[in-house]
Amino acid sequence: MKQFIENRVLPKVQKPARYQGNEWNSVHKDWDNTPVRMVFAFPDVYEVGMSHLGLRILYHIVNDREDTLMERVFAPWVDMEDQLRQHGLPLFSLESVRPLADFDAVAFTLQYEMSYTNLLNMLDLAGIPLRAAQRDDRWPLVLAGGPTAYNPEPLAPFVDAFLLGEGEEAVHDIIGTIKKWKQGPTPHKRRDLLQELAGISGVYVPEFYEVSYHNDGTIKKVVPKVSFAPSRVTKRVVRDLDRVDFPTRPIVPFMEIVHDRIMLEVLRGCSRGCRFCQAGMIYRPVREKRPETIIAQGENLVKNTGYDEISLTSLSTSDYSCVQGVLALLMDRYGSEGVGVSLPSLRADSFSVDLAKEVQRVRKTTLTFAPEAGTQRLRDVINKGVTEENLMEAVTGAFQAGWTSVKLYFMIGLPTETYEDLDGIAGLAFKVVERGRDILGSRAGRLRVTVSASSFVPKPHTPFQWAAQDSMEVLQEKQHYLAGKLKHRRIVFNWHDARLSTIEAVFSRGSRKVAAALERAWALGCKFDSWNEHFRYSTWQEAFRETGVDPEFFNNREFSLDEVLPWDHINTGVTKEFLLTEYKRAFSEETTADCRHEKCTVCGVCQNLPASVDLKGAKNNAPC
């Protein structure tokens, strides 16, 4: 099969490097002498999947074990899928070119809801039955994890088991269970393996839970059908980032990928408390790496990859307590070698001119700020904690340090939003342009302010999980209104397809009932839905009609504060009581302070999980 693919298939596809699997630092193990075999499945193209830090981490951790191998598979682009189906070839892993059905486990990462049809398509291409109930002992386990797994219900009929939370330690528990199941003295049934997996902290097996509904379609209850399944599944969390393995020999692709650089994680979690932000809630608590850990990992990464850029990654890198010192050390050490450092996630209120000057010593990377809303009233509603003065100070520092372009991210359709808030977005953009003109002087001809507006999608486990999404028509009307306001030769305005955002919300807040529409949409040809050229809104509408699923029940309906939510049996550590309090405070335009700087907000994480806020950089003081 390998030779046939190399000689007959790859010459006919647009980007054969997506499927070759022999990149620098890729791992190739002896299949026959490795007891447990897993494949990491990313339901999007290679360029997107290879940019995912979670893949790099788990690939390294699993392959570091002698008894386990982990290979990779990505959603094949349409030209490759055509070739596979034309020649009757199953979807295969990159490293050994083996069919996915040969593995013990196919482990999907769920980074965004609009990749769900790709997951189904990959299973179908692999010849693996779509529904878990159709798979017997002959088939590999289908596992899933990642941020959107925190509402597993839309995919519950298709996935055998979900891992909720961080995988660095949990993956060892899962491997141990699979190995024990395979090497037992007597043949074990698939159900026995699932029972063992259900006993692992953080693992949710949908088969063992029953969902009942009220007549109006809301959920009556989600309860275990068996005594060994917990009533609530609590996420896994890594207590100490310095003690878990981090990949310092990551795979270096032969082709350009979305994030084609070193990704060096400096902290995990965020306690800012933006009320729309799922990542800020599910990745709590904040845990920092020691500065010396970051420097050592950076040294190995530069040596082992040849990249000329180090990206210091986190949800908000400028909140790292030693960002200034770490940045200066990295620039001093590698700047003369042409290796730059980028800070991809900056907050306007923690940005400084000195930080900007450090970043630009080697090259200017794009600076992006996210005010999210156009008025202070709405920023208070969403608990953004950023003022117009903060933003103007930040862009002033950027322009003075030599930048001629900045990006501003906003969100439209937020709860309580009015057209005055939209006017505020335009007003801020024009103020940034004027500030740039004043500072840049003769270089103002190169000035560009890019304004991007995404549509609000209510997310599980956030204070806005109860909030309704604006209708598609309202979102489109707001986009057109804003486009008219932002007509200026120095401003570029980008926005996301509102139709796509409405479907994203269905699967963000959906129950198991939406699984039928998902499967039907895939059967009708939907895939690569997050790619504009492949998104087929009319087909999704047809799928909803044929399956009797009302999308507005999930995206445009304000959920009752006392109803059972589809994800209530999933425990992130943040209590529902805290989220409800924050929801009510939002409509009173009350803000909640960051617990790292003021008193504990008692969100539940530090009280309920085996980890708490840990600011190691601040404790150690060096090289701050």
The predicted structure's pLDDT at residue 335: 87
In a domain, 74, yes or no: yes
Q: What are phi and psi of 371, to 5 degrees?
A: -65, -25
Residue 618 in this model has a pLDDT that exceeds 60 = no
Closest Cα partner for 474 from 455, 496, 461? 455
Q: How confident is the model at residue 354 (pLDDT cuts 50, 70, 90)?
A: low
Same-domain check for residues 228 and 269: no
In a domain, 584, yes or no: yes
Closest Cα partner for 209 from 465, 506, 511? 511
Same-domain check for residues 341 and 426: yes
CATH number of the structural domain spanning residue 215: 3.40.50.2300
Residue 622 in this model has a pLDDT that exceeds 60 = no
The predicted structure's pLDDT at residue 344: 75
Contact between 353 and 395 under an 8 Å Cβ cutoff? The reply is no
Q: How confident is the model at residue 363 (pLDDT cuts 50, 70, 90)?
A: low
User: What is the rounded average pLDDT of the residues 252-263?
Assistant: 95
List pLDDT tens digits, range 524-537: 999 999 999 999 99
Mean pLDDT of the chain: 94
List pLDDT tens digits, range 477-499: 999 999 999 999 999 999 999 99
Instruction: State the Cα–Cα distance between residues 415 and 421, nearest whole angstrom.
Output: 11
Residue 617 in this model has a pLDDT that exceeds 70 = no
The predicted structure's pLDDT at residue 401: 82
E strands in 66-145: 68-74, 105-109, 141-145
In a domain, 528, yes or no: no
Contact between 534 and 528 under an 8 Å Cβ cutoff? The reply is yes
Residue 389 in this model has a pLDDT that exceeds 70 = yes
Instruction: State the Cα–Cα distance between residues 65 and 169, nearest whole angstrom.
Output: 13
Residue that the structure tokens 């491997």 belong to:
175
The predicted structure's pLDDT at residue 2: 86
Same-domain check for residues 208 and 283: no
Q: How many residues does the chain have?
A: 624
Distances (CA, A) of 38 to 22, 46, 175: 18, 18, 9
In a domain, 241, yes or no: no
Same-domain check for residues 377 and 421: yes
Same-domain check for residues 307 and 215: no
Q: How confident is the model at residue 597 (pLDDT cuts 50, 70, 90)?
A: confident
Interior/surface letters 388-413, b for 16+ CB within 10 angstroms, e for the rest: bebbebbbbbbbebebbbbbbebbbb
Residue that the structure tokens 């897993």 belong to:
38
User: What is the rounded average pLDDT of the residues 378-406?
Assistant: 91
In a domain, 389, yes or no: yes
The predicted structure's pLDDT at residue 615: 84
What residue type is assigned to position 491 of the chain?
A: I
Same-domain check for residues 180 and 278: no
In a domain, 252, yes or no: no
CA 395, 316, 577 angle in degrees (round to 5)?
Answer: 120
Same-domain check for residues 351 and 228: no
pTM exceeding 0.85: yes
Q: What are phi and psi of 370, to 5 degrees?
A: -125, 85
Q: 410 pairs with which residues across the strands?
A: 372, 453
Using left for φ > 0, alpha for ψ between -120 and 50, and beta otherwise, residue 315 falls in: alpha
Instruction: State the Cα–Cα distance between residues 203 and 304, nearest whole angstrom.
Output: 34
Same-domain check for residues 108 and 203: yes
The predicted structure's pLDDT at residue 429: 97
List pLDDT tens digits, range 283-335: 999 999 999 999 999 999 999 999 999 999 999 888 899 998 999 899 999 98
| Residue 583: Cβ within 10 Å count | 18
User: What is the rounded average pLDDT of the residues 339-362?
Assistant: 70
List, in order, residues 6 or more apart from 29 with CB less than 8 Å away: 63, 69, 95
The predicted structure's pLDDT at residue 400: 87
Same-domain check for residues 139 and 8: yes
Residue 346 in this model has a pLDDT that exceeds 90 = no
In a domain, 346, yes or no: yes
Give the pairing of strands 405-412 and 448-455: parallel
Q: What are phi and psi of 397, to 5 degrees?
A: -60, -40
Of 21-30, 178-187, 237-246, 360-369, least confident by mean pLDDT is: 360-369
The predicted structure's pLDDT at residue 364: 67
Same-domain check for residues 285 and 378: yes
Instruction: State the Cα–Cα distance between residues 479 and 80, nearest whole angstrom.
Output: 36
List pLDDT tens digits, range 263-286: 999 999 999 999 999 999 999 999
Distances (CA, A) of 15 to 28, 55, 74, 256, 260: 22, 21, 13, 11, 16
CATH number of the structural domain spanning residue 304: 3.80.30.20
In a domain, 533, yes or no: no
Closest Cα partner for 105 from 143, 158, 69? 143
Residue that the structure tokens 């013990």 belong to:
104
Residue 350 in this model has a pLDDT that exceeds 60 = no
Same-domain check for residues 305 and 186: no
List pLDDT tens digits, range 63-77: 999 999 999 999 999
- The domain of 372 spans 262-509+559-616
Of 84-88, 122-126, 168-172, 342-346, least confident by mean pLDDT is: 342-346
Share of the chain above pLDDT 70, in %: 95
The predicted structure's pLDDT at residue 514: 98
- Number of structural domains (the chain) is 2
Closest Cα partner for 426 from 464, 401, 459, 453? 453
DSSP string computed for 183-224:
SSSS---HHHHHHHHHTSTTEE-GGGEEEEE-TTS-EEEEEE
Instruction: State the Cα–Cα distance between residues 54 and 246, nearest whole angstrom.
Output: 10
Share of the chain above pLDDT 90, in %: 85
Same-domain check for residues 127 and 53: yes
